[in-house]
Each structure stands twice: as C-alpha cells, then as structure tokens.
Amino acid sequence: MIINIKNLKLKLPDHVCELKLLDLDEFFKSNRKHGDIFVSFKINDLRIGVIVEDTGRPEPKDFERLVSDVEELRRRGMLKHDMIIIKIIHHRGIRKGKMLIQHLAKSFKVELQECESAIDIEYILRKRHLL
C-alpha cells in the first residue's frame, strides 16, 4: 500500500490497521526543528511508530532531532510503551562523511533511505524480521 503525506510517499505493508498520519509541523507548532512526519499503525499484533526526517544531505543534527522527537511524542502520548519505533532519514544522497553518517545511523538506530521512490517501511520491517 502506498500513501502520500507532505510530498512523501510511504510504502506500507498490506493489511495494516489503526493507521494514523501526522504532519509534525502542524503537531508541534514550534520554532524548533523536528522531523517531518509520524505514522503509526498496527499489523498482526505489532504496534509500529515511524518518524521520518526528509532532508537534502544527512547531518549529525538530524539524528539528534529524531531522538528528541521520539521523547516529545512519548511525552504527548503519541508513542505508546508497546510500540516498535522506527526512525528514518530520507535523503538525496551522502557525499562527504559517508562513514560518519553510517556510523551515526547505526548508533542511533536510524534507517537511511535515499530518495529513489517511496520510503519503503515494509522493507525495513522485513529486514528487522518483524514481518
């Protein structure tokens, strides 16, 4: 299933239920920089929460921003204690510092997806053996 939100396409597994889409600009309404979208859904017995930061080139501050967003969404009750959280940086390419960015992604448990087509959440779930 492909959904569109805020100029982004997300590929979700078929048969999701309790789907919620949130534009974080509208949700936070603050001057602080934050991720772009939050998606939550249920598939089988799993509750999944996905935060996406859409950027040109990933920078260290993007990783910190996603962690901050997770904490804020928890405080506001959007992330439940039983949710599996997936953080994604959707980018247009990594030029300088590719090793640093890949190291940060691993350290912060963030998925990097280059802008080729839809953000493939189904692929990420399969890669993590959740589907």
Q: Report how many domains make up the chain.
A: 1
Q: Which residues form the domain of 41?
A: 2-127
Distances (CA, A) of 103 to 90, 100, 106, 108, 111: 16, 5, 5, 9, 11
- Residue 32 has a pLDDT of 79
Beta partners for residue 76, in sequence order: none
Q: What is the pLDDT of residues 24-36, one digit of tens each?
A: 988 888 777 888 9
Mean pLDDT along residues 90-117? 89
Check: pTM over 0.85? Answer yes or no.
Answer: yes
